[in-house]
Amino acid sequence: MERDGLDAVVISHLPNIRYLTGFSGSSAMLVLAGGSTTLVTDFRYASQAPAEVDNVAEVVVDRVNVWELLGRVLARHGAAAVGFEAAHVSVQEAERLSGLGTFRLVPTSDMVERLRMAKSPGEVDHIRRAAVLAQEALAQILSGIHVGLTELDVAAGLESALRRLGSEWHPFPTIVASGPRSALPHARSTDRRIVAGDLLLLDFGAQVDGYCADLTRMAVVGARATARQREVHAVVQAAQTRAMAQVRAGMSGQEADALARDLIAARGFGEAFGHSLGHGLGLEVHEAPRLSPTGEAPLPLHAVVTIEPGVYLPGWGGIRLEDDIYLGPDGATCLSDNRTELIELV
């Protein structure tokens, strides 16, 4: 704030508010000004907010108009330049914010997100626990997956197991893609019924104390894997193994991405790997840093990232394998179980 000449900053992105204060509700704005921190929220959180925030911030509650309350908080500090999160505030909200006073409104970028990239030991433990929970949920439902079920049936069973085991919520809509639909990297689960010999891609996660895990596993349902399925799976597995063994804090996102991409290309599937190798994990399932062909920034020490190479062949199917990795001072540590064998559900 001092570097950017800001007297106050309004934080509105809820994951950033949770990171700074511990507040987990669905409606709040956080004002940082004059060495003080004020959480502005509404009546629904009059009891929850003080309990979660404790002494980290002053909690103020309005029963009628939170925006007017926000204006009073800003006026109290006499701020001349007020920053806002440009990536998370709509044009309408920015206009409303600017109407709260005579201050100058200044867009900011990634002020809190930059802090969030490096995880504390407690944050790493939350992500590890979320991964363990997700793995247990998959283990509970695998034996019940069979020919004739729909993708939605499998997704419902997996999401139910996640909740029963204690997942706070689903970090993203569970992806269950079968047969040719497994070639869609971000497929949505549908009512397509699984037939014998289908590849089954399962991309799912869990959330513990706000922190996310993100895993992808592959199976063949109702038959033994074919030679082609084994071949493609072996390529993706080798690429993931190489990337996980060699990724380090300090290398650029491009360099990390190339660890897997170069191997996949050398095996003849370069055009079939169209997305980035991975992304940061934390309070959001997709956050900084990025492991991508355009990622020039170095990967921070203590970041947690996914390693998820894939090969997608339209009309045939796709294979993706994904695990969650901590980038520590002694190298990379896998927080998930790395059980990436091609599962045969016969």
Rounded distance, CA 76 to CA 36, Å? Answer: 11
CATH number at residue 61: 3.40.350.10
8 Å CB contact between 8 and 82: yes
Q: Helices marked H in 28-172 — which ranges?
A: 48-53, 66-77, 91-98, 111-116, 121-142, 151-165
- Range 298-313 average pLDDT: 98
pLDDT tens for each residue of 88-137: 999 999 999 999 999 999 999 999 999 999 999 999 999 999 999 999 99
**2 within domain boundaries:** no
- Range 41-64 average pLDDT: 95
pLDDT at 193: 98
Same domain, 192 and 333: yes
8 Å CB contact between 289 and 117: yes
Specify the 3-state DSSP secondary structure of 298. Answer: strand
Own/partner contacts of 52-56, CB < 8 Å, gap of 24 or more, are 52/21, 52/22, 52/23, 52/24, 52/25, 53/21, 53/22, 53/23, 54/22, 56/20, 56/21, 56/22
The average confidence (pLDDT) of the chain is 97
pLDDT at 64: 85
Residue 39: left if φ>0, alpha if ψ -120 to 50, beta else—which one?
beta
| pTM exceeding the 0.75 threshold for the entire prediction | yes
- Range 40-57 average pLDDT: 96
Same domain, 89 and 127: no
Rounded distance, CA 287 to CA 156, Å? Answer: 26
pLDDT at 115: 97
- Range 158-174 average pLDDT: 97
8 Å CB contact between 205 and 285: yes
pLDDT tens for each residue of 141-156: 999 999 999 999 999 9
Q: Which of 116, 146, 165 delimits the end of a domain?
A: 116
Identify the domain containing residue 316 by its residue range: 121-345
pLDDT bucket at 63, cuts 50 / 70 / 90 = confident
Q: Which two tokens stand for residue 47?
A: 């009891």
How is the beta sheet containing 215-221 ordered, strand by strand? Answer: 175-178, 198-204, 215-221, 343-345
Q: Which of 97, 116, 135 delimits the end of a domain?
A: 116
- Range 202-227 average pLDDT: 98
pLDDT for 335 beyond 90? yes
User: Identity (one letter) of the amino acid at 153?
Assistant: D
Domain count, the chain: 2
Looking at residue 279, the DSSP 8-state letter turns out to be: E
**96 within domain boundaries:** yes
